[in-house]
Amino acid sequence: MKIIMLGAPGAGKGTQAKKIAEKYQIPHISTGDIFRANIKNGTELGKKAKTYMDQGLLVPDELVCDLVVDRVQQEDCRNGYILDGFPRTIPQAESLDRALAALGESVDYAVNVEVPDENIVNRMGGRRACVGCGATYHLVYAPTKKEGICDTCGAELILRDDDRPETVQKRLGVYHEQTQPLIDYYSKKGILKDVDGTMDMGAVFQAITEILGA
């Protein structure tokens, strides 16, 4: 079962990806994790990626795809995997399809967690992070016992710059411009599955498992 997760930043796709990975016993793969692992292990691909990152440049699509394809050929991906945060653009999607086709494989599902922008801005604006241990909370969905104080270490909580409404709006703008076309791309391939991400977390997960076949 080879799955790609789609959805705007803050739509909750990362949370759902982890739950799917647990249920179906398949690896949850994010490009960030792949980069870190390859750089840490000093692989040839990791060294190449690091030269770009050290200069503050984006890692080229072709190299990102090589890193992903290298990862999905590992033993733990034999029964499938779930890709989170890749592909982000049409060229990346085409590159991935070509590489998988060369291995005689293809993506089974592209699951799109749909949440209106307005909901995302409100949702992310309610997030709070601990300055001490990094734990995250939400004013509505996961509040602390004492307002503004971390349950775990007692340090104060802050609204991260990433979660400020103006930053979220910018990120959503980039998402709609770059990643939204992927929805049409996978729709034409007949593997796109839309899920209403405004439901509570459990209901979203249930809807996804019904698509994948519980």
Establish if 132 belongs to a structural domain: no
Q: Tell me which of 50, 88, 164, 193 is the catalytic residue.
A: 88
Establish if 126 belongs to a structural domain: no
Per-residue pLDDT at 133 exceeds 80: yes
Q: What's the per-residue H, E or C state across the chain?
A: CEEEEECCCCCCHHHHHHHHHHHHCCCEEEHHHHHHHHHHCCCHHHHHHHHHHHCCCCCCHHHHHHHHHHHHCCHHHCCCEEEECCCCCHHHHHHHHHHHHHCCCCCCEEEEEECCHHHHHHHHHCEEEECCCCCEEECCCECCCCCCECCCCCCEEECCHHHCHHHHHHHHHHHHHHCHHHHHHHHHHCCEEEEECCCCHHHHHHHHHHHHCC
Establish if 133 belongs to a structural domain: no
Establish if 153 belongs to a structural domain: no
Q: What is the CATH number of the domain that holds 177?
A: 3.40.50.300
Among this protein's residues, is 13 annotated catalytic?
yes
Give percent above pLDDT 90 in the chain. Answer: 71
Question: What is the domain extent for residue 192?
Answer: 2-116+162-212
pTM of the model: 0.83
Q: What is the mean pLDDT of the chain?
A: 92
Q: Tell me which of 48, 50, 164, 171 is the catalytic residue.
A: 171
| pLDDT score for 197 | 95
Establish if 180 belongs to a structural domain: yes
Question: How many domains does one find in the chain?
Answer: 1
| pLDDT score for 214 | 58
